[in-house]
Each structure stands twice: as structure tokens, then as C-alpha cells.
């Protein structure tokens, strides 16, 4: 049976909203990681069977099949096709799942999976202006559209998480990301991006020197009596990430050394209210399908959409907190929606390689009450 392996994984630095990457068109931002994949692997881009690209707000500069535009912007041959995927925040993780399935089935020999979001140039919610859901949610859930911030508050309530716990987790995310940056842990995965203001090569969202006392002064963002603030929520960001996926046989034929095998890939879905708790059943489903135990997993990447999400996941799943988001997460690094799944996987596979970790698991909450979960096996 064919398998699917990752032979390269790269990302751009993550830019703050209106920050260093604000001048870069999302197709050009995507092109930077596509070019890096071919340069690092040495493959001819003409052998890429497809580019599967995650993007949430597919409007304006991110419309008209951004995957295809990105491949052309990278200077790749016109023979390379592309398709764009929207599974909300998990879009580029889903792109990896589609790519792996295509390789295993024999439809692809070489495929690129990843994603992008320029939240500066195409603001969050832009597609809702043209296509409101409105009555569809009112009839079933009593609201015009489920609010993720309120969902994060409901998760904190349901799992008994305090404001202090959320702020402490957020501070740790920044501290871990700052330490990883200082130690050069992101250097191999980051592709510097040329801009009109110079080369951007470092994640811009990391805040140093904060304290829980400072974080406690921020007002709640979604509910007057709530605990979700700007500090314990993910950052609005710009960025892209991509992975080169093939089979073991094809990698050997081309002289490529795989980083990891895509061992297991699953989906889960629950009610859109409170929306953000599907990573729990997704994790359980991935473990059951893989035949692995929780203790077999040496690293977990759980997207920090809000601090309440990974903390509730920890309480529910019972994983070792020391193995969760060891290099920081979206609270510190940022959350460029359509690119985040591939960013997490890029960070995970490099961390697994650096620390010789055999199995790693990634999961993330998604709009509409869904979640992807992926288990990687180091090769």
C-alpha cells in the first residue's frame, strides 16, 4: 500500500496586522513558500501534480482560485494546476489531508499542500458581507451567526477555566515562542519574505517582558463579565506555509529524504454552538484509528485560537501539558487563518526532527464546530 510522506515543510514569518507583510499580495506571499519548496528539495516544479491551498476569506485579492494564482506567481509552469480549500481555520490542514489521500490513492505522485491568509489586505469576515448566513442559523440556533469569541467564553465556563489560567497560558505562549526564536528553532522552517521595506524574517507577534499582572488589566473582548481578552486570543496575522508531499517510493526514486509520514488523518464535528470544542473528539478519533495511545505521542500542536481551547483540550484529553505547543502557539506567533494548519504542521514536523520525537499530533478548532486531527510519524 502506498503511503504519504512530507519531504519539505516551510513557512513565512508571521506578520502582525498592518505589519511587515502588509504590502505583500497573498498570491506573492504564497509564492515565496512554493519557491522555497522547490529550491530546498531540488525538484522541478513541473512534476507537481497539484497545489492544494487553504484560504478562508476567498474574496478580493484572495479570490479566483488563489492556489492557481500562487503557482503562476511563483513562476511555475502553466501545466501545474491548483485548487483552493475552505475548512475555516483548518483549511490548510485539510489541504494536507486531501494531498495525502490523493498520494495514497495513486492520483498524485507529487503534490503541494498549504495555505495563506493576508488578514491585513483581506479582513476577517470579508466574505460575509457578500454572502451573509443570517436566517440559516437563526432558525436552528437562535443567532444570526455563531460568534467564536462567545464560543470561547462558553468553553471557559464549561471546563471551569479562570481568567488567571487563560492569562498564564498566554504569557507562557509568548515566553516559549521568544525562547524558540532566540535559540534559532524556527530558522530552518522560515522563508524570509522581501517587501518594499526590506526583508522580513522573524515572527512579529511575539511580545517580550509582559506579566500576568499586566494582562489582567485588559478588558474582556466579547462579554462584559467574560475572561476572553485580546491578550489570551490569537493574533490577527498575515502569513503562508506549505508542505511537499509524495510517496516513500517516489521520494526514494527522486533521491528525497522524507521528514515524516502522515500516519493518520481524521475529522470531527459537533454543534456550531459553542463551535470550538471539536478538537477533543477529533483527537480521540485519531488515536483510536491509529492504534496509538496518548502516551505514544511526544508532541501536540493544538491551535491557540483562544487560550480556553487548548486548556479545555488538556483537561478533557489528559495530555502532558509540557508536550503542548512547546514552541508557543497562535497567541504569540499569530493566526493567519487559511495558513495556520500548515504553519502548525511545519512547526510540528521540524520540532519532531529536532527532538527525535516519533509521533506528533496536531488538531485545531474550526468555524462551524469542526476539527481536523493529524498524526505524524518521524522517518
Nearest to 338 by CA among 29, 24, 40, 128: 29
Q: Which residues, in sequence order, are CB contacts of 193 under 8 Å at separation 6+? A: 12, 13, 20, 21, 24, 29, 32, 199, 200, 201
The span from the CA of 242 to the CA of 167, in Å, is 31
The span from the CA of 274 to the CA of 253, in Å, is 48
Place of cell 479570490: 63
Nearest to 152 by CA among 328, 16, 304, 17: 304
DSSP β-bridge partners for residue 301: 362
227 is known as an active-site residue? no
Q: How many CB atoms lie within 10 A of CB 153?
A: 23
365 is known as an active-site residue? yes
Among candidate residues 97, 277, 351, 365, the one labeled active-site is 365
CA angle 246/181/167 to nearest 5° reads 105
DSSP β-bridge partners for residue 368: none
Q: Return the C-alpha cell found at 281.
A: 473528539
In this structure, what is the dihedral angle of CA atoms 31, 35, 40, 44, given to the nearest 10 degrees? 130
3-state SS of 196-236?
CCEEECCCCCCCCCCCHHHHCCCCCCCCCCCCCCCCCECCE
The 3-state DSSP class for residue 276 equals coil
Among candidate residues 89, 174, 263, 350, the one labeled active-site is 89
Q: Return the C-alpha cell found at 320.
A: 502532558
The span from the CA of 35 to the CA of 46, in Å, is 12
Among candidate residues 263, 335, 350, 351, the one labeled active-site is 335
The 3-state DSSP class for residue 22 equals coil
CB 187 within 8 Å of CB 336? no
Q: Return the C-alpha cell found at 71.
A: 503557482
Q: Which residues are catalytic?
A: 89, 335, 365
Amino acid at each position: 500500500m502506498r503511503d504519504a510522506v512530507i519531504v519539505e515543510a516551510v513557512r513565512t514569518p508571521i506578520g502582525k496586522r498592518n505589519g511587515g507583510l502588509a504590502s505583500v499580495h497573498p498570491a506573492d506571499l504564497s509564492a515565496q513558500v512554493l519557491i522555497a519548496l522547490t529550491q530546498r528539495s531540488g525538484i522541478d516544479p513541473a512534476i507537481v501534480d497539484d497545489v492544494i491551498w487553504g484560504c478562508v476569506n476567498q474574496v478580493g485579492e484572495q479570490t479566483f482560485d488563489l492556489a492557481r494564482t500562487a503557482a503562476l506567481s511563483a513562476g511555475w509552469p502553466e501545466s501545474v494546476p491548483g485548487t483552493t480549500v475552505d475548512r475555516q481555520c483548518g483549511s490548510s490542514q485539510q489541504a494536507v489531508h486531501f494531498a495525502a489521500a490523493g498520494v495514497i490513492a495513486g492520483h498524485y505522485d507529487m503534490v503541494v499542500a498549504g495555505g495563506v491568509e493576508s488578514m491585513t489586505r483581506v479582513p476577517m469576515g470579508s466574505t460575509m458581507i457578500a454572502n451573509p448566513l443570517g436566517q440559516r442559523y437563526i432558525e436552528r440556533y437562535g443567532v444570526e451567526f455563531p460568534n467564536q469569541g462567545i464560543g470561547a467564553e462558553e468553553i471557559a465556563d464549561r471546563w471551569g477555566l479562570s481568567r488567571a489560567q487563560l492569562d498564564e497560558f498566554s504569557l507562557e505562549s509568548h515566553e516559549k515562542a521568544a525562547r524558540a526564536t532566540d535559540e534559532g528553532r524556527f530558522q530552518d522552517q522560515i522563508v524570509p519574505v522581501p517587501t518594499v521595506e526590506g526583508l522580513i524574517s522573524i515572527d512579529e507577534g511575539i511580545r517580550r517582558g509582559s506579566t500576568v499582572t499586566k494582562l489582567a488589566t485588559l478588558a474582556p473582548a466579547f462579554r462584559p463579565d467574560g475572561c476572553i481578552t485580546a491578550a489570551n486570543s490569537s493574533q490577527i496575522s498575515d502569513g503562508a506555509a506549505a508542505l511537499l508531499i509524495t510517496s516513500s517510493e517516489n521520494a526514494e526514486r527522486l533521491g528525497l529524504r522524507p521528514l515524516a509520514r502522515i500516519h493518520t488523518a481524521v475529522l470531527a464535528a459537533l454543534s456550531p454552538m459553542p463551535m470550538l470544542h471539536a478538537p477533543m473528539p477529533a483527537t480521540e478519533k485519531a488515536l483510536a484509528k491509529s492504534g496509538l495511545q496518548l502516551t505514544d505521542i511526544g508532541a501536540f500542536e493544538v491551535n491557540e485560537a483562544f487560550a480556553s481551547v487548548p486548556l479545555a483540550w488538556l483537561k478533557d484529553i489528559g495530555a502532558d501539558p509540557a508536550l503542548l505547543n512547546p514552541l508557543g502557539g497562535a497567541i504569540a506567533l499569530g493566526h493567519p487563518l487559511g495558513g495556520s494548519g500548515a504553519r502548525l504542521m511545519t512547526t510540528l514536523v521540524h520540532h519532531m526532527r529536532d527532538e527525535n520525537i516519533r509521533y506528533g499530533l496536531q488538531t485545531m478548532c474550526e468555524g462551524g464546530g469542526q476539527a481536523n486531527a493529524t498524526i505524524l510519524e518521524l522517518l
